[in-house]
Structure 1
């Protein structure tokens, strides 16, 4: 398990850290450990949302497990809790609770379902930092990703956080899954530093806008990629600590977005961030001012969403539909889940009405006001 030489990670009280080559690899390892602890005699199954990144499916199938998709709650980025319970059977080994753009899943409710059925609860916190379970140990395993577009960008890599009681059990049972992993090294030499400089340069306002209009770069596209390898990969020394410090010093603009877009609620739009955090507050303490990767909205209809998207991007705002489709509609995924997207009406509706807005630190007050004017004019 990783040591930080005096640096205290926000999860250190409840979890041990294993750093690997990607967030997908970390999730796949969590699935593998869930299978081992459950010892199911049949093909193991893992429950996950029908809307999300196709890497979720890649992580599950890489362990020979079957991904079992469940629909979303209406108008929310969360799994429908009743659908989760109905999906559990004797082959189920775990539930993947996926955070969305800074909004965590309903971990308290999912923990109850997991406990009732003796299942592992995996918090996929690739888009949420710090993970919801950091201060309470709710999830058995936590997943972090340090790649492009994540809360902490370390130019790649990820981490599997294992709750300490599970770490102790692995040691007692001499389970050598983690010790058997190959190791790769990341060197902070000149080539790495040049890549990092170039990457950050391309993310600047004018250059990223140009790249978005170059289809061959694939920016914003949602594609399925099989998981090719799982290996230990420690971050460049000091980089994680610096990344967390930088994250903690950022000033979020979620509150500014919510205030500017308040008028949309009377026009049938849904401001997901404040609504979801208000609802989650009934199940336990939540972050009071979440750091959002992007600001999510649900339009009244796909037609209005598409019109707004066109107008916003004409104005250079950089709006996005994010994944764009429910998981079964994505090439490469539908063959693995063997179920039509029509089986998940809420996930399809969510994908069709979702629009996300940039929430990084370069977004100016003038940008927010411009977006508000464009969206309020939609009907």
Structure 2
């Protein structure tokens, strides 16, 4: 039973409520495209939606809970990545624009060395997002009137997620002379013989899809602009530090991400359901933090281990509760109304199956497996007779 007071004052604003959840004087941790892609992959997890919406540092929270997760790049990888990005964008972005023209600039004149690179500095993320929107508007007009190419280096884009604004910073956005906007992802993993690691390319495509969604919000205000659904992935060629590129069609990832983000419960609804006084401030004792985290429903799956800092804590809780979600989403979907491992094992033993077709199928499958094992134990070389599949 929770030790917190039952409710908070109704006049408390959402901004103040989220600040209280983070803890006094704790700045919000901004959402990035990687976090949004992971959030969209598990839209039913209210815990992640609330913590990300409130700007809670999940890495610090996981450590305070005693379940730290090793996330992020090594210092060496970060230095190598920054060095490679600087090389790609050097000389006014000439090499980067050449790659964009080579892979996605059919029908346009080469950018040459006269491409526009506007200054995007401004105060705060809101100011930078407004400055980026203005630069995109000016670049689109310059492309139409002058045939100019424009490179936006680390623009700031705004996207509403679960009722709260998220500010995203892609590596680059290129505005073509025809008014098309292209997202550029610069990664330090190599592209060997024209191909890169499939898992890393997939992650880059999901991040690019988030940027495309954010760009579309800005493009809605400009009838001449259009957002390209093909992003450009720039990586080192083979084992060198020379850049090469490949086009990424992100239409599928964009559609999936948009649908999943729309399914997210709004942050104010999640926050309103919590008792007053609840906080995820890592300065609090571990027992209080454990109780606070448990107050928000989570949907754990093994896939979370690759994308969420709290995955190890949630896995321990799922195993303690004996839930089938710990076995994976596919298993959870196949078991239907059987929500715990104990229920599934009982159904396989024929206990309390009733009229549940899933329980009956489990019982039949368990009998067939037992018969097959008995035959194999009696004569390993005997081939059992064909049996009807219980599926």
> What TM-score do the two structures reach when normalised by structure 2?
0.23
TM-score normalised by length of structure 1: 0.24
* Structure with the higher fraction of residues in strand conformation: 1
- The structure in which a higher percent of residues are helix is 2
Name which one, 1 or 2, has greater alpha-carbon Rg.
2
